[in-house]
Amino acid sequence: MKRNLLLAFFALVFATSVAWAQTLPTITSTPFLTANVGSDYHYDGDDKVEASGSQPITFSVDGPEGMTIDPDDGHIHWHPEPDQVGPNDITITATNAFGFDTQSFTVEVFKTITLTAVNPPITIPAQGGQFSVVVDIVNMSGRPVTTQVWNAIRKPDGTILGRTPIGPITISLNNGETVTGNPTQTVPANAPPGIYTYIFSVGAFRQFVTDRDSITFTKLAGPIASLSKNNTTTDWEVSAGPQDQLFKFDSSTNEQRGAVIRPETLILEQNYPNPFNPSTIIRFGLNQDAHVTLKIYNILGEEVAILVDEFQSSGFKSMVWDGHNSLGQTVSAGVYLYKLEAGGLVKTSKMVFMK
């Protein structure tokens, strides 16, 4: 009798163990419900669907174009495109030998950068003028991000203006944070008439773009020669204060956080215009407060002029060289070097002065 009871007990334990092992899959991870255009979607902290139940478990996904899932380990891969802004319905299925479980949810994709014209449509008179825009940059990726923002201007003939009036500016954002800029752009009198495209981009400058937005403005044709110098504009200037103060954090998401915006390393941009006569603009960015020197050398390495030799705060700067040496004499046509030194770092580039 006791032996039969003992056998029955072990049989029950064995049956229970088998039944316990043979369980349906259950998805246990929780997805993020927001994403940014041009940035990898983060399903959760590990970008991986987790499921309990009898192994092996395989995964599949029914979602927006471009979304995939590794069938074996559950890793989600998706890089939202601009045409996927808005709600995107997603269903993930976990399957094993005994059944399946599904998880359905909706991810809202946000534009990373949005550009809005102030008082559109924008029409610039023949003698030049100004317009303002509002630039919003938002991080809804689920993780902190660091990105760069810059702009460009496409001229009526389809070519791009040879320098970026703004940026690159490096910005760090926590999840859910927004920064806003409100630059005022000058359009010079000598700009050709026609329709221009004003573009802002985010990503890594001269490497890749994660998102961009644009507006258009029209420059009118007309006589400008009779206008005095005082009422014409001659350069693509931006009036918004120092570039490191151009973007400000939204106080509703950043009440206690200061927005110190500076390049991650020392930056020396190509001068514009290049080649040049009679003057050119040299732009640079300081990643820290430092003593700065910016000097011009001829091709033999001889010092020609000193443009900067002082302590400066971090941020983006620009200097004009008018083709004169330290004695005030116009230099000869040819190739010149300009060297920036700050914080123990050195950057050098070439430029060409024409006669």
Mean pLDDT over residues 21-34, rounded?
84
Distance linking the first and last C-alpha atoms of the chain: 115
- Please state the rounded mean pLDDT for residues 328-346: 94
Note the pLDDT of residue 234.
52
Quick one: which H or E segment has residue 288? none
Residue 307 pLDDT > 50: yes
The segment with the largest mean pLDDT, out of 20-24, 274-278, 283-287, 305-309, is: 305-309
Burial 44-72 (b: 16+ CB within 10 A, else e): eeebebebebeeebbbebebbeebebeee
Residue with tokens 């008439």: 193
- The CATH code of domain 264-355 reads 2.60.40.1930
User: Can you tell me the mean pLDDT for 293-315?
Assistant: 92
Please give the backbone phi and psi of residue 18, each rounded to the nearest 5 degrees, phi first. -65, -45
Strands 129-138 and 113-117: antiparallel
pLDDT of 1? 55
23-110: in CATH 3.30.390.10: no
For the chain, percent of residues with pLDDT exceeding 90: 41
Closest by CA to 263, choosing from 249, 283, 282, is: 283
At residue 12 the predicted structure's pLDDT band, cuts being 50, 70 and 90, is low
Q: What is the pLDDT of residue 239?
A: 65
Q: Domain residue spans in the chain?
A: 23-110, 111-261, 264-355
| Per-residue pLDDT tens digits for 179-201 | 888 888 889 888 999 999 999 99
| pLDDT score, position 244 | 45
- As a whole number of angstroms, the distance between CA 345 and CA 291 comes to 11
Q: Higher-confidence residue: 333 or 257?
A: 333
pLDDT score at 139: 87
Taking the CA atoms of the chain, what radius of gyration do you get in angstroms?
30
What is the reported pLDDT for 266?
A: 84
The pLDDT value recorded for residue 3 is 58
**pLDDT, tens digit, for every residue of 232-279?**
445 787 765 444 456 654 434 333 333 334 566 788 877 877 888 888
- Please give the order of strands across the beta sheet that includes 315-321: 267-268, 280-286, 315-321
Mean pLDDT of 86-114: 92
How does the average pLDDT of the chain come out, rounded? Answer: 82
CA angle centred on 91, ends 85 and 92, rounded to 5°: 120
Q: What is the pLDDT of residue 39?
A: 85
Residue 230 pLDDT > 90: no
pLDDT at 259: 38
Whether pLDDT at 291 is above 90: yes
Fold held by 111-261: Immunoglobulin-like (2.60.40)
Cβ contacts of 291 within 8 Å, gap of 6 or more: 310, 311, 312, 342
pLDDT band at 293 (very low <50, low <70, confident <90, very high): very high
Which of residues 137 and 5 earns the better pLDDT score? Answer: 137
